[in-house]
Chains A and B, each alone.
Chain A
Amino acid sequence: MRIFLDKKKFADAVHTCARFAERRAATLPVLGAILILAGKEGIKLRATNLETGIDLALSGECKEDGVVAVPAVVLEQLSAALSGEGALELEHAGDVVRVVAGPARSSLKTLPYEDFPALPLPEGKSHFAVQGTLLKELLVAIASCSSSSTVRPELASVYCALSGGELTLVATDSFRLVEKKVALGKGGTGKFLIPAKNAVDIAQALPAGEVTVSFDEHQCAFSFAGGVVVSRLTNAAYPDYRQIIPKEAAAEAVVLRKDLDAALKRATIFADAFQKVTLFFDPKKKALGILAKNQNVGESADSIGAASTGVPLELSFNHRYLSSALALTGAESVTLTAAGLGRPLLIRAKGDPSFLYLVSPMNQ
């Protein structure tokens, strides 16, 4: 194999692919490698850790065809350290690959590539198209709300449901739940569960342009101009979360997002070991009180202006769950709806019906 590439583009592509290579040492060595393929289909980089996988096309000149597997870590370090612009030559000879960038010459040990697995693509016909930037942003934001424990695999996943030209993404760790909707403009139905940590990796690799997502029962693929990313799907039933969204409102407060965010930041300093802050719905004073108390630090009482209705109500929350809700929406004001003591609190963005956040209170 002998190919000529652009230094900068190569470094970017290697950086993207390296994320998909296996990082643990105790598995098949070739999984820790990036496969460089040069042939009729052009130049391609490929990597997989058996959970996710990527296949990325790269523009360049191909003098001689061939395949070579190079350890991802070393290749990433090397390509990131190449300074300046210009061309790069890769030549495979024996069990090394020579990398020539101007006067800098290095030769890397290669790995046998015969064991490199094929990337499985979904067999079904279900698919939809969505803008890469949008999907990227959504996946990262939503995945952060899924469970980090793998005891319940469905909760460690992002739930994607397609119906009526609308894509709904949901994640929950059983303490809070986020739902976001995106209009796609085209029909189709289906649903699947992507493991949350795969979703984050995939999001990083997506380009800004249009991405086609296809899926079947076990596998999904995100294809875009010049590449495809695949992931295994979680094969489990997702709880019918709509049932736990409270329908009645005992107290409701509309507050400015910035005000609440700032007040939570102040209260956080005084939160106790359980990260507890207390919200007080005060319809009489048209305010929302935020209280925190830590025996070792001290205590704080704060209040922000709120269009508040209903009955006076006091609920305690883990402040992290509250502030992460505020980070998920860009709306100016948010509506907090409490269904009662011990019942979850519903957070919605004013003027943005596509966003919904549910957070469970602490024991009083």
Chain B
Amino acid sequence: MDRTNPKELWEHVLTQVELSVPPAAFSTWFRDSRIVKIEGGIVYVGVPSQFFRDMYVKKYHLLLLKIIRAVSYEFRNLEYLIVKDERRKPPREVKSERPTIELPLDDFYINKSDNLNPRYTFDSFVVGSFNELAYAAAQAAIERPGIAYNPLFIYGETGRGKTHLIQAVGNQFKKLYPARKAFYLTSEKFAVDYTDSVQQGAANRFKEKYRQYDLLIMDDVQFLSRKEKSEEELFHLFNYLHDNNKQIVFSSDRPPLAIPDIAARLAGRLASGMTIDIGEPDSESRMAIIRKKAALHGVYLSDEVVEYVAGAIGGSIRELEGIVNNMVCHAQVKGAAPDLIEVRQSLRSFARPQKAVSVKQVVSKVSEYYGIDEESIYEKTRRREVVRPRQVIMYLLREDFNVSYPTIGTKLGGRDHTTVIHSCEKIKREVIEDNILAKEIQSIRTLLV
């Protein structure tokens, strides 16, 4: 038996329970339950309603605990959760011919009064070492909204779960404080809303609209760059909300001070609360995410498959989700979760085309960045303003594009490969100590993508 597989563990528990509980009680109390997750030594059992939870706590807790302890001592305790109806296995139904058009209800599960998608909750959020700080800060912000961390600024690359986290903040806030108002929007929506209101001559109504909220969540705030008037509006809105101790949450793909072309006073304010980045998920976290996403669809994947997928796909959780959906679809069509060979097959379509950036391109971008003549990079000159960029180019070609030392040497005006090695090592050392250089390289990297 695989101890970490909830399905197998639960099956084992059931066979044990069946021996010590009368058949009628067994079919009543255990038929619709299952293990939802195993986390930190605690086994979470999903039950259909409070009737069941009370009964489990009162009558079956000791029995179940004894059984799972016998499996492994790493299980410390059992907890009972009432599972959501939508996560339960729906009964199969034969759809009859209905000539009446269905009301388009499906499109409206997003609540328009607060714009939050109810699917994004903390229940479905996987916490790993890469995002635990952001998660903790979000929890603190919910517990003491407007006081603990205001504003909360979360940044990270695309597909790291920023939107999920900040929407979960909104949904949790709604749940805890039903009388208060939360609102989620993207910065792009904010800008459009502003221009619309100006067009209609209703700028005051625009101000009023956003000032009524107790929690404002703004996604992808970097898109406000170069929209001066919208920035100014946000600045005033920010001041109003902040002064009144209303919680504000932002997300962006880069830290506040690195957002280009944004007013300094706004950038400063964005950074004034808590700024946290969500890094790249490590492979264990990726595995946990794959398991969780698959389990949400009721599909249990074997360990080797999970491991393989986690290894094959890099940072973006969105891509992982795409692959999980692919496997879920496979499981639904064929009636069984895919095995390693099949996953390998289907992963080919997900394989990203290798970034093909020519040396010339890197040279032109870097020289443009430093404001020097492209030709001078290839020349034998040792002027200081040229040497640094040249070294940076060598470093980038080696680190990011895995070009061999001799090739770099030949392409950059026939230099010896030891020169190249020396340059790469030098920059590598300096990047750690020199913050300015690190920042420069970071911005060059964004130019190259």
Partner of B105, one of A172, A190, A218: A172
Partner of B93, one of A151, A235, A240: A151
Which chain A residues (122-139) contact chain B, with CB distance < 8 Å? none
Partner of B103, one of A26, A153, A172: A172
Using known A-B contacts A118-B54, A120-B54, determine if residue A51 contacts B49 with beta carbons closer than 8 Å: yes
What 0/1 readout, one digit per residue, does chain B (256-287) give for beta carbons within 8 Å of chain A? 00000000000000000000000000000000
What 0/1 readout, one digit per residue, does chain A (217-255) give for beta carbons within 8 Å of chain B? 111000000000000101111011111100000000000
Partner of A361, one of B48, B83, B86, B101: B101
Using known A-B contacts A318-B100, A358-B103, determine if residue A234 contacts B24 with beta carbons closer than 8 Å: no
B178 in the interface, Cβ–Cβ < 8 Å? yes
Q: Could you tell me if B101 and A362 are in contact, using CB atoms closer than 8 angstroms?
A: yes
Q: How far is the CA of A358 from the CA of B179 in the complex (A)?
A: 29
Partner of A151, one of B27, B48, B52, B91: B91
A295 in the interface, Cβ–Cβ < 8 Å? no
- Whole-angstrom distance between the Cβ of B85 and the nearest chain A Cβ: 4
What 0/1 readout, one digit per residue, does chain A (145-165) give for beta carbons within 8 Å of chain B? 000011111110000000000
A48 in the interface, Cβ–Cβ < 8 Å? yes
Nearest neighbor of A344 in chain B, beta-carbon distance: B103
10 pairs, A vs B, C-beta closer than 8 Å: A50-B51, A117-B51, A118-B54, A151-B93, A232-B51, A236-B84, A240-B111, A244-B104, A361-B101, A363-B99
B73 in the interface, Cβ–Cβ < 8 Å? no
What 0/1 readout, one digit per residue, does chain A (310-336) give for beta carbons within 8 Å of chain B? 000000011001000000000000000
B243 in the interface, Cβ–Cβ < 8 Å? no
Q: How far is the CA of A321 from the CA of B55 in the complex (A)?
A: 42
A175 in the interface, Cβ–Cβ < 8 Å? yes
- Whole-angstrom distance between the Cβ of A201 and the nearest chain B Cβ: 15
Q: Could you tell me if A117 and B100 are in contact, using CB atoms closer than 8 angstroms?
A: no
Partner of B24, one of A28, A236, A274: A28
| Residues of chain B contacted by A149 (CB below 8 angstroms) | 93
Partner of A219, one of B49, B178, B179: B49
Q: How far is the CA of A26 from the CA of B90 in the complex (A)?
A: 20
B82 in the interface, Cβ–Cβ < 8 Å? yes
Number of A interface residues in the complex (CB < 8 A): 53
B204 in the interface, Cβ–Cβ < 8 Å? no
B28 in the interface, Cβ–Cβ < 8 Å? yes
The 7 closest A-B pairs by CB, nearest first: A153-B85, A120-B50, A232-B49, A237-B118, A28-B28, A239-B105, A240-B108
Which chain B residues (64-121) contact chain A, with CB distance < 8 Å? 82-86, 88, 90-91, 93, 98-113, 118-119
| Residues of chain A contacted by B49 (CB below 8 angstroms) | 50-51, 120, 218-219, 232
| Residues of chain B contacted by A155 (CB below 8 angstroms) | 105
Nearest neighbor of A22 in chain B, beta-carbon distance: B28
Q: Known contacts A150-B90, A318-B100; can you find 15 more A-B pairs with CB under 8 A? A: A28-B29, A29-B24, A115-B25, A151-B91, A151-B93, A172-B105, A175-B100, A217-B175, A235-B86, A237-B86, A237-B119, A240-B108, A241-B103, A242-B112, A342-B101
Q: Could you tell me if B84 and A235 are in contact, using CB atoms closer than 8 angstroms?
A: yes
Q: Which residues of B contact A (CB under 8 A)?
A: 24-25, 27-29, 48-55, 58, 82-86, 88, 90-91, 93, 98-113, 118-119, 175, 178-179
A77 in the interface, Cβ–Cβ < 8 Å? no
A177 in the interface, Cβ–Cβ < 8 Å? yes
Q: Could you tell me if B27 and A26 are in contact, using CB atoms closer than 8 angstroms?
A: yes
Q: Could you tell me if B24 and A360 are in contact, using CB atoms closer than 8 angstroms?
A: no
Using known A-B contacts A241-B108, A317-B100, A321-B100, determine if residue A153 contacts B28 with beta carbons closer than 8 Å: no
Most buried by A among B25, B93, B103, B111: B103
Q: Could you tell me if B105 and A174 are in contact, using CB atoms closer than 8 angstroms?
A: yes
Q: How far is the CA of A29 from the CA of B48 in the complex (A)?
A: 20
- Whole-angstrom distance between the Cβ of B429 and the nearest chain A Cβ: 54
Interface of A is mostly: loop
Q: How far is the CA of A118 from the CA of B101 in the complex (A)?
A: 44
Nearest neighbor of A195 in chain B, beta-carbon distance: B85
A354 in the interface, Cβ–Cβ < 8 Å? no
Using known A-B contacts A151-B91, A234-B85, determine if residue A244 contacts B54 with beta carbons closer than 8 Å: no
Using known A-B contacts A151-B90, A154-B86, determine if residue A27 contacts B99 with beta carbons closer than 8 Å: no
Q: How far is the CA of A51 from the CA of B99 in the complex (A)?
A: 33
Nearest neighbor of A49 in chain B, beta-carbon distance: B51
Q: Could you tell me if B93 and A175 are in contact, using CB atoms closer than 8 angstroms?
A: no
A59 in the interface, Cβ–Cβ < 8 Å? no
Q: How far is the CA of A148 from the CA of B396 in the complex (A)?
A: 63
What 0/1 readout, one digit per residue, does chain A (184-224) give for beta carbons within 8 Å of chain B? 00000110000000000000000000000000011100000
Q: How far is the CA of A150 from the CA of B90 in the complex (A)?
A: 7
Q: Could you tell me if A31 and B85 are in contact, using CB atoms closer than 8 angstroms?
A: no
| Residues of chain A contacted by B28 (CB below 8 angstroms) | 27-28, 31, 50
Q: Could you tell me if A244 and B90 are in contact, using CB atoms closer than 8 angstroms?
A: no
Q: Could you tell me if A175 and B103 are in contact, using CB atoms closer than 8 angstroms?
A: yes
Nearest neighbor of A190 in chain B, beta-carbon distance: B178
Which chain A residues (344-364) contact chain B, with CB distance < 8 Å? 344, 358, 360-363
Nearest neighbor of A174 in chain B, beta-carbon distance: B102
| Residues of chain B contacted by A243 (CB below 8 angstroms) | 107-108, 112
Which chain A residues (13-36) contact chain B, with CB distance < 8 Å? 26-29, 31
Using known A-B contacts A26-B27, A120-B51, A243-B112, determine if residue A235 contacts B85 with beta carbons closer than 8 Å: yes
Q: How far is the CA of A118 from the CA of B53 in the complex (A)?
A: 11
- Whole-angstrom distance between the Cβ of B247 and the nearest chain A Cβ: 19
Most buried by A among B51, B58, B82, B119: B51
Nearest neighbor of B85 in chain A, beta-carbon distance: A153
A44 in the interface, Cβ–Cβ < 8 Å? no
Q: How far is the CA of A342 from the CA of B100 in the complex (A)?
A: 10
Using known A-B contacts A28-B28, A276-B99, determine if residue A240 contacts B110 with beta carbons closer than 8 Å: yes
- Whole-angstrom distance between the Cβ of A119 and the nearest chain B Cβ: 8
Q: Could you tell me if B98 and A175 are in contact, using CB atoms closer than 8 angstroms?
A: yes
Q: How far is the CA of A118 from the CA of B51 in the complex (A)?
A: 7
